[in-house]
Structure 1
Amino acid sequence: MSRPEDILPPNLFYDDISARKYTSSSRILSIQSDMAHRALELLHLDQPSFILDIGCGSGLSGEILTSEGHMWVGMDISESMLAIAVDREVEGDLLYADMGQGVPFRPGSFDAAVSISAIQWLCNAETADVTVDNRLKTFFETLYASLKRGGRAALQFYPKDDKQRDLICKAAIKAGFAAGILEDEPGTKQVKVYLVLEVGGTGGDITQAVKDLEGVEVQDGRSKREKKKGETRREWIGRKKERERRKGKVVKKDSKYTGRKRRIQF
């Protein structure tokens, strides 16, 4: 199945019809709510904060920010998505902008930033005079500047592969962030990848921004391995969690649910 970012630029892919369909899907609403709550958890905010929502779309994640007592500004490149956000009367301020051209706010404007299912679009350059490296560099450098000292960002995204995931993470580190990759439900089709960033951290050590998160542990591992004969699903997932040692990957600790097959509920 083709990925949206491989079909059209986001401002064209999310036209009026696609934007309405996206916003009215009960499945999308549930997933977006879960990921927005998870992003807030990773930010570790202990008081109402001013948050930038990158790729805010029709304001689904913004509504979660509002419900948790935060103020926010959302930016998106889809006029159709932003129009729906206006119709839905979301409480955040909205800005039409391309994140690949930078975060257009004064230095130190925000306490934190979130992004749900958006930053993988940075790896698409629609014209010959624009490169992926420049888009990533511009985005992360301006995001770094827009956050206050000690500010965090939790960016959920869907990398195409490990190469793209590492490309995005390395661009964040080059911009000055301390950065960590966290995966929920690793080794499954429901895996959710979060890039957790911190301004003014130790810079470059990708475990520092997530080392103190409750319920996760740093895992290392190197190669992908297939399930061994006679191996249980729980054992296989355990090995998958350890496959990228020395890459600073962070995953949930095992629980009584690890390895259980679950129904998809909408």
Structure 2
Amino acid sequence: MSRPEDNLPPDLFYNEKEARQYTTSSRIRNIQADMTHRALELLDLQEPSFILDIGCGSGLSGEILSGVEEDEGGPHTWVGMDISSSMLAQALERDVEGDMLLADIGQGVPFRAGSFDAAISISAIQWLCNAETSDVSPEGRLKRFFDGLYASLKRGGKAVCQFYPKNAQQRSLISNAAIKAGFGAGILEDDPETKSVKVYLVLSVGGGDVTGAVSGMENVDVMDARRKERKRGKEFEKKGSKAWIMRKKSQMEAKGKVVKTSSKYTGRRRKTAF
């Protein structure tokens, strides 16, 4: 069975007919509700918050955000983004409470820095891995999205993005883009031994071990440590050192440029001449 994102871009796939079928399907509504409640559990918000709903569609998740009881930390206020005008039309027809913006998340998150306390996304970000034209790359779309999301969240803010990776490469592509943007990141899997596995990318602004930012996390692949290791390696490789020079030479040679032959004197500091 082919995946929707392999057929058409989301703004074309979710036309008026598809948007209505998606919104009225009891099966889809139940799945969406379960995943939204799980995302809220992982966010662990203790007070009413301002939340960005990424790929908000027809507002199914937004209804749950608005309906959180006071004793559970709500109700929350939310703003949604979606690329499908037909999906947003369904949300307007259903008179959901949040404000919504017609926008392509692959072009960034167009809000003032530090606007949101938290963010959620249900079944949306895997669409960023499909480029519709030759001048757009999945890497570029993911970078613009995660850079914008990081900036839009308050310091200490959290985001939970449920997504369906096509394969291990796509899963790594998405998680690595989040890490490069500055997030502390981890991937949690619910029901990992079944066909109905649910993958959640859990993010915290400001880096750090994401398991410390989210309570009750299990089955977590923590990726923040890899980012720290890369930084640590760069600290040891100081500019002008032999390791730095050798790496630069390798880069130059890979580009077909002529470089001087290395020797035992490469990178050695000369004595100051008086």
TM class by smaller structure: 0.7 to 0.9
Residues of 2 paired with 1:148 and 1:107: CA distance? 8
| Structure 1: tracts of 5 or more residues without a match | 203-207, 221-245, 248-266
Q: Does 1:131 align with 2:132?
A: no
Structure having the higher Rg: 2
Residue matched to 2:56: 56
Shift of 1:218: 4.3
Q: What secondary structure is seen at the aligned counterpart in 2 of 1:210? A: helix
Q: In the comparison of the two structures, how many residue pairs are matched?
A: 218
1:122 aligns with 2:123: no
Superposed structure 1 runs of 4+ greater than 2 Å apart: 210-213, 217-220
Distance, in Å, in 2 between the alignment partners of 1:80 and 1:214 is 37
Inter-partner Cα distance in structure 1 for 2:216 and 2:130: 34
Over 3 Å counting, the alpha-carbon distance change for 1:219 and 1:108 in structure 2 is closer
Within 5 A, what are the aligned runs for 1:1-266?
1-68=1-68, 69-202=75-208, 208-211=209-212, 213-214=215-216, 216-218=218-220
State how far apart, in whole Å, the 2-side matches of 1:52 and 1:135 are: 18
Q: Which has the higher helix share?
A: 2
TM-score (norm 1): 0.79
Report the 3-state secondary structure (helix = DSSP H, G, I; strand = E; otherwise coil) of the residue aligned with 2:41: helix
Give the TM-score, by structure 2 length: 0.77
Q: Which amino acid aligns with 2:56?
A: C
2: CA distance, partners of 1:145 / 1:174? 13
Distance in 2 separating the partners of 1:133 and 1:117: 19
1:95 and 1:218, CA in 2 relative to 1: closer, same or farther beyond 3 A? closer
The C-alpha deviation readout for 1:79-112, integer Å capped at 9, x for no partner, is 0000000010000000000000000000000000
Alignment partner, residue 242 of structure 1: none
Rounded Cα–Cα distance in structure 2 between residues aligned with 1:215 and 1:155:
15
Q: Partners in 2 of 1:72 and 1:217 — Cα distance?
A: 29
5+ long unaligned stretches in structure 2: 69-74, 227-274
The 3-state SS of whatever aligns with 1:91 is: coil
Letter in 2 for 1:65: L
Task: Report sequence identity in percent.
Answer: 69
Q: Deviations over 1:57-77 (max 9, x none)?
A: 000000010011100000000
RMSD across aligned positions (CA): 1.7
> Hey, what's the Cα distance between the residues in 2 that align with 1:217 and 1:119?
21
Alignment-mate amino acid for residue 111 of structure 2:
F
C-alpha distance in structure 1 between counterparts of 2:83 and 2:138, whole Å: 17
